[in-house]
Amino acid sequence: MNNQDENIPVDYEKIMLLYGTEIKALVYTYVKNSALAEDIAQETFIKCFTNYHQFRGDSLKGWLFKIAINKSKDYLRSSYYKKVILGTILPVNKKYNSAEDQYLVKSEADQITDIVLNLGVKYREVIVLYYYKDLTIKEIAQTLNRNENTVKSHLRKAKNMIRNEVYKYEK
């Protein structure tokens, strides 16, 4: 969806349908509040649509993620954020064979979710973008304005931190 020709109409509704859920889930990993994530996701699309004429990149998804991440970080830096108590959950979509399987998988997913959401921002964002949003190392580096080797390093360290925390739970 490259906007090189200003005369091509933009299907904003299609963009929202394609990326809305992903943007909200991404924002949620930062703010840990569903209603707030929805508000910031809406702000992300407003910024996208008002500045769409400036989009020149190859990846609309990456550009939207960058806007969403920046909006989330702006919120986290705000004084209002310091007064809000946040919950923790990350949506997991999976089919189950039985109620026991569902319980076990949900329990493990909740454990991993808690660990991921408690990582520092620079580690949490690479885990979420890589594993939950399926971005490549290169796309993550572009989205976060970081060197690819830095992204690899943060990803490796985050995986080790998660592994260590899971090991603690198992003891």
pLDDT digits (tens, 9 = 90+) for 27-75: 998 888 888 899 999 999 999 988 888 887 778 888 999 999 999 988 8
Check whether residue 25 and residue 96 sit in a common domain. Answer: no
Check whether residue 103 and residue 149 sit in a common domain. Answer: yes
Check whether residue 54 and residue 98 sit in a common domain. Answer: no
Q: What is the mean pLDDT of residues 85-108?
A: 50
**Confidence at residue 40, expressed as pLDDT on a 0 to 100 scale:** 94
Q: Which two tokens stand for residue 88?
A: 């923790």
Residue 4 in domain: no
Check whether residue 26 and residue 50 sit in a common domain. Answer: yes
End-to-end CA distance of the chain: 49
74 Cβ neighbours under 8 A, 6+ residues apart:
none
Final residue of a domain: which of 82, 116, 135?
A: 82
Q: Give the helix, strand, coil percentages of the chain, each rounded to 5.
A: 70, 0, 30
Model pTM score:
0.56
**Confidence at residue 85, expressed as pLDDT on a 0 to 100 scale:** 35
CA geometry: angle 154, 158, 162, nearest 5 deg: 175
Boundaries of domain holding 23? 12-82
**Confidence at residue 70, expressed as pLDDT on a 0 to 100 scale:** 92
